[in-house]
Structure 1
Amino acid sequence: MKCARIGLIAAVISSAIAAPFVLAHGSTENASSKASPIYGVTMPEGYRQWQLIAPAVEGAPLNEIRAVLGNDIAIKAYKEGTLPFPDGTILTKLAWKHVQSPGFESASVPGAATTVQFMVKDSVKYKDSGGWGFGRFVNGQPVDEKQHQTCLGCHQSRVKDHDLVFTRWAP
């Protein structure tokens, strides 16, 4: 079991850092059509090069492997234990289908990419949503407004005491 966990973590980290992500390319062309509904969040340039905060595995019904990355402001806040997170913090969640490794039966590897999601901290712009703007993207395009309406409620009901952020630093 320990080898499987190590294999899973290694697969997530290497995928988060090195593998091409077919869902999003960080393009800024025609940014207004690529902004999330409600919050207007766009995909920041270079987010795939950000530092890993933590990997995660989501069980049924999503069955995903996830990696959460952060920009320099986010990483500094995590390392210093700063709450609330400062304005300018951006968190990125990359998600793939959870698949059994074809070469090592007790290990898991990322399968097909599912979504890339962002949380952007701006206490003025997003004052009505706890200081956070949310964006979910599939194939580089924002998902519909109905899906974005679920972001804030879920975060408020479950992690209100952690500035609406689920992910904890993985040392």
Structure 2
Amino acid sequence: MKLMHLSGAVAALALTVAGLAMGDSAGDDASPIYGVKMSEGYRQWPLIAPAQEAAPLDELRAVVGNNLAIKAYQDSALPFPDGTVLVKLAWKHVQSPEFEPASIPGAATTVQVMVKDSKQYAATGGWGFGRFINGKAVDQAQHETCFACHQARVKNHDFVFTRYAP
């Protein structure tokens, strides 16, 4: 029980640090192609899972979700319901200066958003995608690769890579 409480505290701290590093505003910038925006208040959403990306990106990541996402994960419900929003925060992977075997978040890199709307995004498995750096959507070329990668690798999991961390 103490470990679960500690894990939640670590996740909350990580999201607070991310808020300071990347700015805490959802911004008005929409992604090209999909029109997805950063969701208001996403930094307070529950943690779905942490992740580590190997070279060449070498990032630490945390995926959070809105209440619909959390319920769907807890109920093992696929496909995800319309209104589900998943947000992935990413930071450069840095070795801890205090404890060499440990990793800590470095500079913020991206915030990536997936929004489920089976009618609006029917051509892309029901999902709209957004990638943001410093609160601004990245160029269209990067957004064009989102669905193709999800379709090729996780079509059988409603196009979602992230699994719920126990």
TM-score (norm 1): 0.88
Residue 12 to residue 166, structure 1, CA distance change in 2 (3 Å): farther
Residue 21 to residue 154, structure 1, CA distance change in 2 (3 Å): farther
Q: Which runs of 5+ in 1 are unaligned?
A: 1-8
Q: Which runs of 5+ in 2 are unaligned?
A: 1-6
Which one-letter code corresponds to 1:74 in the other structure?
A
Residue 150 to residue 11, structure 1, CA distance change in 2 (3 Å): farther
1:106 is aligned to 101
Deviation sequence 1:101-160 (CA, Å, 0-9, x none): 011010000000000000000000001110000000001000000000010000000000
- Aligned residue for 1:66, secondary structure, equals strand
The CA distance in 1 between the partners of 2:103 and 2:9, in whole Å, is: 8
2:128 is aligned to 133
Q: How does 1:74-93 map to 2 (within 5 A)?
A: 74-93=69-88
Q: Is the 8 A contact 1:12 1:109 kept in 2?
A: no
1:27 is aligned to 26
Which one-letter code corresponds to 2:99 in the other structure?
F
Once the 2 structures are TM-superposed, how far is the Cα of residue 26 of structure 1 from its aligned partner?
2.9
2:16 alignment partner, one of 11, 18, 28: 18
Residue 37 to residue 24, structure 1, CA distance change in 2 (3 Å): farther
- Aligned residue for 1:153, secondary structure, equals helix
The CA distance in 2 between the partners of 1:25 and 1:122, in whole Å, is: 25
The CA distance in 1 between the partners of 2:26 and 2:147, in whole Å, is: 26
Residue 52 to residue 43, structure 1, CA distance change in 2 (3 Å): same
Residue 50 to residue 157, structure 1, CA distance change in 2 (3 Å): same
Name segments (4+ residues, structure 1) moved above 3 Å.
9-12, 14-17
The CA distance in 2 between the partners of 1:118 and 1:15, in whole Å, is: 20
- What's the C-alpha RMSD, in Å, of the aligned pairs? 1.6
Using the aligned pairs only, state the percent identity: 65
TM-score (norm 2): 0.91
Q: How does 1:138-149 map to 2 (within 5 A)?
A: 138-149=133-144
Once the 2 structures are TM-superposed, how far is the Cα of residue 23 of structure 1 from its aligned partner?
2.5
The CA distance in 2 between the partners of 1:40 and 1:149, in whole Å, is: 13
2:4 is aligned to none
Once the 2 structures are TM-superposed, how far is the Cα of residue 39 of structure 1 from its aligned partner?
0.2
Counting matched residue pairs gives 159
